[in-house]
């Protein structure tokens, strides 16, 4: 019988090395190049982290110097913010910052969200291609230009003409809208399942109590602002050419509109088309689909847009510095129709004379303390917003 077996061939006859990990790694030159690129990116990331750490460290160090050296009686309950005289009333800056932020979001929130809804749900492709670049151009307008616009147009031509009656109407609308939102939220809670835990029920009661207390504070504030002017004057609010918080807040709101609209529009556009088709298939109108399907599905992105807008309004400097109606000092006020200093404007007004305030007690360190408070507020706002967004986010 013939032998048909294949003769064995030695490894040397084949002429190939055995397959190893080093053989799969590729040329050493390529590996060295990848390591070099990786090192560059690592250095860039490290430099960014180091710069952030140094900024926070310098901020905390000077803020600690202020906190340990100041008389805390001069930081609360005083008649205003007069750092060159050793009076550092923080509520003066905090309340003014709150007024500017709230009024700015009352302008940017509805207009920005409305623009986003129109661009995402109603506008045709041609209209959207025309309007969205125009809206984004507004984001490129320098803040100093809006500062001049707020000072020389919004203040004399808009805010000055509002008067006491106009403010009462605006305040009443804000109060009614707030009460309607609270009632709607409470009604939804009542309609939910009854088998909730005691802890959840207590949490809901505390939230409802806080909302009611906020409504009472809002009502008191509206009434106090309306009664703070001279009733004998033709216009209850005498507006100075130097500006006021309301004009600055409207300018900041205009500056924030494109930011809110852009982020909210991206969130609405990310909602799957299948949800809209399913709603239309059930016979829902376009408005019903938008309000009851698209907006709840994009709520996390919309909340993120509002939080970014609030942070932008809280950190705006130039518009408030120019149109806020105050220089490097300000008296305490809870009225948007008077001049005041926000935290950023207070820092900018003193920073222009830094060489002069070094050695003037803790005036220079007060800049860092205000910056630290602003940093903590912004960080807390973003942490709370991040947790809320992660909790209500819908993944498709």
Q: What is the pTM of this model?
A: 0.73
Q: Are residues 296 and 342 in the same domain?
A: yes
Q: How many Cβ atoms sit within 10 Å of the Cβ of residue 163?
A: 18
Give the β-pairing of 87-88 and 80-82. Answer: antiparallel
What is residue 295's predicted lDDT score, i.e. its pLDDT?
Answer: 83
Query: Is residue 219 domain-resident?
Result: yes
Same domain flag for 182 and 266: no
In whole angstroms, what separates CA 26 from the centre of its chain? 49
Q: Are residues 302 and 226 in the same domain?
A: no
Report the domain count for the chain: 3
Assess whether 359 and 299 both reside in one domain.
yes
Contact 363, 87 (CB under 8 A): no
Share of the chain above pLDDT 70, in %: 74
- 198, part of any domain: yes
Same domain for 383 and 318? yes
pLDDT in tens, 341-368: 888 887 777 766 545 555 456 777 788 8
Q: Are both 212 and 190 inside the same structural domain?
A: yes
User: In this structure, what CATH number is given to the domain that contains residue 121?
Assistant: 1.10.3720.10
Beta-carbon count within 10 A of 126 CB? 8
Kindly report, residue by residue over 56-102, the tens digit of the pLDDT.
888 888 888 888 877 777 778 677 777 777 778 888 888 888 888 88
| In a domain? residue 18 | no
Cα-based torsion angle of the residue sequence 53, 59, 65, 66 in order, rounded to the nearest 10 degrees? -160
Q: Are residues 252 and 121 in the same domain?
A: yes
Same-domain status, 285 and 141: yes
pLDDT at residue number 61: 87
96 in the same domain as 38: no
User: Looking at the structure, do residues 247 and 358 belong to the same domain, yes or no?
Assistant: yes
Q: Which structural domain, as residue segments, surrounds residue 62?
A: 26-68
Whether the per-residue pLDDT at 238 is higher than 70: the answer is: no
Write down which residue in 238, 254, 270 finishes a domain.
238
Do residues 98 and 212 share a domain? no
């Amino acid at each position: 019988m013939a032998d048909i077996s294949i003769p064995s061939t030695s490894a040397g006859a084949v002429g190939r090395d055995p397959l190893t990990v080093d053989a799969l790694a590729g040329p050493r030159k390529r590996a060295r190049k990848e390591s070099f690129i990786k090192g560059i990116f690592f250095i860039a990331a490290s430099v960014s982290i180091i710069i952030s750490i140094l900024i926070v460290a310098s901020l905390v160090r000077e803020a600690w110097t202020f906190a340990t050296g100041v008389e805390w009686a001069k930081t609360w309950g005083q008649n205003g913010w007069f750092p060159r005289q050793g009076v550092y009333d923080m509520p003066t800056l905090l309340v003014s910052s709150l007024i500017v932020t709230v009024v700015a979001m009352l302008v940017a929130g509805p207009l920005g969200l409305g623009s986003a809804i129109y661009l995402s749900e109603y506008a045709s492709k041609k209209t959207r291609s025309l309007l969205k670049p125009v809206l984004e151009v507004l984001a490129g307008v320098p803040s100093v230009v809006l500062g001049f616009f707020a000072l020389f147009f919004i203040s004399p031509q808009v805010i000055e003409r509002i008067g006491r009656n106009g403010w009462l109407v605006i305040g009443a609308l804000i109060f009614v809208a707030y009460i309607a939102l609270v009632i709607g939220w409470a009604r939804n809670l009542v309609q939910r399942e009854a088998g909730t835990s005691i802890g959840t029920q207590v949490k809901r009661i505390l939230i409802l109590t806080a909302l009611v207390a906020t409504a009472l504070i809002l009502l008191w504030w509206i009434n106090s602002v309306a009664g703070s002017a001279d009733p004998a004057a033709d216009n209850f609010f005498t507006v100075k050419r130097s500006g006021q918080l309301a004009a600055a807040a409207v300018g900041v709101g205009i500056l924030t509109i494109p930011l809110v609209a852009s982020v909210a529009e991206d969130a609405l556009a990310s909602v799957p088309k299948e949800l809209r088709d399913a709603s239309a298939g059930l016979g829902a109108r376009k408005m019903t689909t938008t309000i009851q399907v698209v907006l709840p599905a994009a709520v996390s992105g919309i909340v993120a847009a509002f939080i970014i807008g609030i942070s932008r309004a809280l950190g705006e400097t130039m518009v408030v510095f120019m149109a806020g109606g105050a220089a490097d000092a300000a008296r305490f006020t809870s009225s948007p129709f008077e001049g005041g200093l926000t935290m950023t404007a207070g820092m900018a007004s003193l920073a222009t004379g830094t060489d002069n305030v070094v050695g003037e007690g803790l005036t220079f360190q007060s800049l860092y303390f205000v910056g630290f408070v602003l940093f903590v507020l912004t960080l807390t706002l973003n942490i709370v917003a991040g947790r809320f967004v992660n909790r209500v986010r819908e993944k498709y």
